[in-house]
Structure 1
Amino acid sequence: MIKVLVVDYHPIVRAGLKLLFETDPEIKVVGTIGSGIEIFEFIRRFPVDVIISEIDLPELNGITAIRAIKKDNQNLKIIMFSHQPEEIYAISSIKAGAAGYLSKTVDVKTIREAILKVYGGGIYLSEAMAKHLNYEDTRNSKTNLYKRLSTREVEVLKLLSSGKKNKEIAQELAINEKTVSTYKARLFKKLNVTNLVDLIHQAEHTGSI
């Protein structure tokens, strides 16, 4: 039996996924939690094979959580299950250590397939995304622009876009303010802007956030 932990800030999503697999012969939802920070306590206390997690979580975002979790739990498989665009966040999630990415628009069958695949050691991406990654992107395409950003740069960009200050970003990502400033400078250079307003506008325009 594959033991699954569901992490999502919406109670209806948590309840829905648990209900979907209630009678499944191979998959059992062993827990549901609402924030990234709760993951660590849960997996310390209970055995989990696969985590299905939203990116946008209170206290600790999903991508940051993945990186921390995988440091001490290499065999734990993580699937990001998010409303965020796959063509942008799937790459970042896989870089951080996730084994798959699912859009919240997928059907039940697809969720089950993804769980079975990552549990077996595979990487799950939608067919469209897998094909997309095989294409030679033009210099100005959204994906190619995004590929120039590291996982940490994407995290900083997302937090900047949500209105957080350098100090708040440093606290959330457990880095110092000087490092945040360095990442911000890199983002300015890579996205070819000179101020925060243009940075956020460019990120929105290209789909980076």
Structure 2
Amino acid sequence: MKKVVIADHHPLTANGVEVLLKSTNEYLVVGKVGRGPEIESCLQKEGPDILILEINIPNITVFQTLKKIREEFPRTRIAIFSTHPEEIYALRSIKSGAAGYISKTATKEVFLQAIKRIALGGVYLDEKLALALNSNSINDKSLVGSYKKLSSREIEVLNLLSSGKRNKDISVLLEINEKTVSTYKTRLLKKLNANSLAELLNQARMFQF
């Protein structure tokens, strides 16, 4: 039986995932956490086979956290479970150490298939997304196409800005200075063809459900 930790700040979601996993008799949920700082201590204590992680769990920067978990807990497989658009976050999540990216709009059957694949050592991506990522998306001129060209750190900065964080807050969370944060904001404005910070944040919120 595979041991699972669920990191999600929505109790109903976490409880629902636990019930779904228990129904298979293949998984044992050994921990549920709702904030970033609790993840590491739970992983150290329980040594799970799988971590199911929500991107927006408070007090983490997701790509940085993924890399850290992969380094410190190499045998724990990470499944991202989120409402964020797959075409924007999935590939970078995989590159940062996740073994799969599952949308919260997925059916129960798809969710369980994805977790099983991850548990067996495979990598899970939605088939349509996998095909899209293999296409010539570099020529995509849409807003989604522009987001695909952002670096992992640029996405982190944008996500923090859209959640109301100030430059000072972001510099502390990402362990960079405020001048560097301002540089990232300038790059984001240019890459996303936004004329102001307000327009930039409005665009960002289009991709958060």
TM-score (norm 1): 0.88
1:31-67 CA-partner distances (Å, limit 9, x unpaired)? 1111122110101111111111111112224444223
Amino acid at match of 1:17: V
Q: Partners of 1:208 and 1:10 in 2: how far apart?
A: 16
> Which residue pairs with 1:187 in the alignment?
188
Q: Partners of 2:195 and 2:95 in 1: how far apart?
A: 27
- Greater alpha carbon shift after TM alignment, 161-170 vs 90-99: 90-99
| Root-mean-square deviation over aligned CA pairs | 2.1
Partner SS for 2:101: strand
> Which residue pairs with 2:112 in the alignment?
112
- Indicate how the Cα distance of structure 1 residues 71 and 185 shifts in structure 2: closer, same or farther if over 3 A, else same: farther
Gaps of 5+ in 1: none
TM-superposed deviation, 1:172: 1.8
Amino acid at match of 1:122: G
Q: Contact (CA 8 Å) 2:9, 2:58: kept in 1 or not?
A: yes
> Which residue pairs with 2:158 in the alignment?
157
> Which residue pairs with 1:196 in the alignment?
197
Q: Is 2:112 the partner of 1:121?
A: no
Gaps of 5+ in 2: none
Q: Contact (CA 8 Å) 1:53, 1:62: kept in 2 or not?
A: no
1:64-90 CA-partner distances (Å, limit 9, x unpaired)? 422321232233211111112212221
Q: Partners of 1:204 and 1:45 in 2: how far apart?
A: 36
Note the 1:43-82 alignment, pairs <5 A: 43-82=43-82
> Which residue pairs with 2:18 in the alignment?
18
Partner SS for 1:37: helix
> Which residue pairs with 2:147 in the alignment?
146
Percent identity at matched positions? 44
Q: Partners of 2:205 and 2:10 in 1: how far apart?
A: 24
Amino acid at match of 1:72: E
Q: Contact (CA 8 Å) 2:157, 2:184: kept in 1 or not?
A: yes
TM-score (norm 2): 0.88
